[in-house]
Homo-oligomer: A and B are copies of this chain.
Amino acid sequence: MTAPKQTRENDLEKLRELVKDIDFCMLTTVDEGGDLHSRPMSSNGDIDADGDIWFFTNASSHKVSEIAKLPKVNVSFADPDNQRYVSVSGTAQLVRDRAKIDELWRPEFKIWFPEGKADPEIALLRISLEKAEYGDSPGSTIEYALSFVSSLVTGKQPDLGENKKVNL
Find the residue from A55, A61, A76 having the highest chain B CB count within 10 A: A76
Q: How far is the CB of A158 from chain B (nearest CB, A)?
A: 12
Question: In the docked arrangement, what's the CA distance between A114 and B48, Å?
Answer: 41
Report chain B residues within 8 Å CB of A78. 24, 26, 40, 78, 80
Are B40 and A145 interface neighbours, CB within 8 A? no
Q: How far is the CB of A39 from chain B (nearest CB, A)?
A: 3
- Asked whether any CB of chain B lies closer than 8 Å to the CB of A118, the reply is no
Question: In the docked arrangement, what's the CA distance between A73 and B22, Å?
Answer: 23
Question: In the docked arrangement, what's the CA distance between A143 and B28, Å?
Answer: 13
Are A57 and B143 interface neighbours, CB within 8 A? yes
Report chain B residues within 8 Å CB of A139. 111-112
Question: In the docked arrangement, what's the CA distance between A74 and B36, Å?
Answer: 5
> Among the listed B38, B61, B76, which residue makes an inter-chain contact with A143, where contact means beta carbons less than 8 Å apart?
B61
- Asked whether any CB of chain B lies closer than 8 Å to the CB of A87, the reply is yes
Given A35-B130, A38-B87, A135-B40, A28:B144 Cβ within 8 A: no
Are A80 and B144 interface neighbours, CB within 8 A? no
Interface residues of A (CB under 8 A from B): 22-24, 26, 28, 30, 33-42, 55-58, 61-63, 70, 72-74, 76, 78-80, 83, 85, 87, 89, 111-112, 130-131, 133, 135, 139-148, 167-168
